[in-house]
Amino acid sequence: MGMRDKGLLVWRGKTLIEHTLKRIAPQLDAVIINCNRNQQQYRKLPATLCEDLMPDYQGPLAGIQAALTISNTRLNLVCACDTPQLPMDLLSRLLETLQSSHADLCYPWDGNREQYLPVLLRSTVLPGLTAYLNQGGRSINGWYGQLNAVSVDFSDCPEAFRNFNHSSELVEGLDK
């Protein structure tokens, strides 16, 4: 996307973050947005903002770490801003598996591949995540491999996890 802030890119008349919030906010008690730039635009949204604790943008795990640090809940749903078609029952389906399996975290499997974001995780993973980051770890899959991580079958709605990676997709759309 040419270093543009994906959350603020417009698709179907709204920013990607607005689409994502419309899908997940009704499922949540509170929303935290990790943003390291463009805070003025994000402040207009009904959410608490946070920035990475680590310098020099260390990737999505650093954003998860920052959000977990200020979260006051035992369970946290983390989503990327460029998946605007997330299921309206995302949280309930992930929660059912998290509770029944006693896992540290769970994420969707779309019928073809594991989708590491979105993820529902317990706040107790924060110390291990911080240690992983401090040791130079940046891979979501690598960190999940250290935990009791479980995938959840979302093969009934694989299109829900399609994301934007190129500007042309903003015009073409994702509903396929």
**Res. 173: pLDDT tops 60:** no
Cα 22 to Cα 46, 105, 133, 138, distances in angstroms: 11, 23, 31, 29
pLDDT at 158: 85
Average model confidence (pLDDT) across the chain: 93
| pTM recorded for the entire structure | 0.92
pLDDT at 171: 63
Residue carrying structure tokens 């997940």:
24
pLDDT at 165: 72
Locate 53 and state its tokens.
């604790």
- Give the mean model confidence (pLDDT) for residues 94-100: 98
68 and 120 Cβ atoms separated by less than 8 Å: no
All structural domains of the chain, each given as residue ranges with its CATH number in brackets, are 6-172 (3.90.550.10)
Cα 71 to Cα 13, 121, 131, 167, distances in angstroms: 31, 12, 18, 33
- Give the mean model confidence (pLDDT) for residues 106-132: 97
Give per-residue pLDDT as tens, 15-41.
Answer: 999 999 999 999 999 999 999 999 999
24 and 32 Cβ atoms separated by less than 8 Å: no
Residue carrying structure tokens 């698709």:
11
**Res. 170: pLDDT tops 80:** no
- Give the mean model confidence (pLDDT) for residues 111-129: 97
For residue 123, the one-letter residue type is: S
Judged by DSSP in three states, 41 sits in helix
- Identify the residue with better confidence: 103 or 166: 103
Tell me: cis bond preceding 118? Omega within 30 of 0 counts. Answer: yes
pLDDT at 164: 77
Give per-residue pLDDT as tens, 44-86.
Answer: 999 999 999 999 989 999 999 999 999 999 999 999 998 999 9
DSSP states of 71-127:
--SSEEEE--TT-TT--TTHHHHHHHHHHHHT-SEEEEE-SSSB--SSEEEEGGGHH
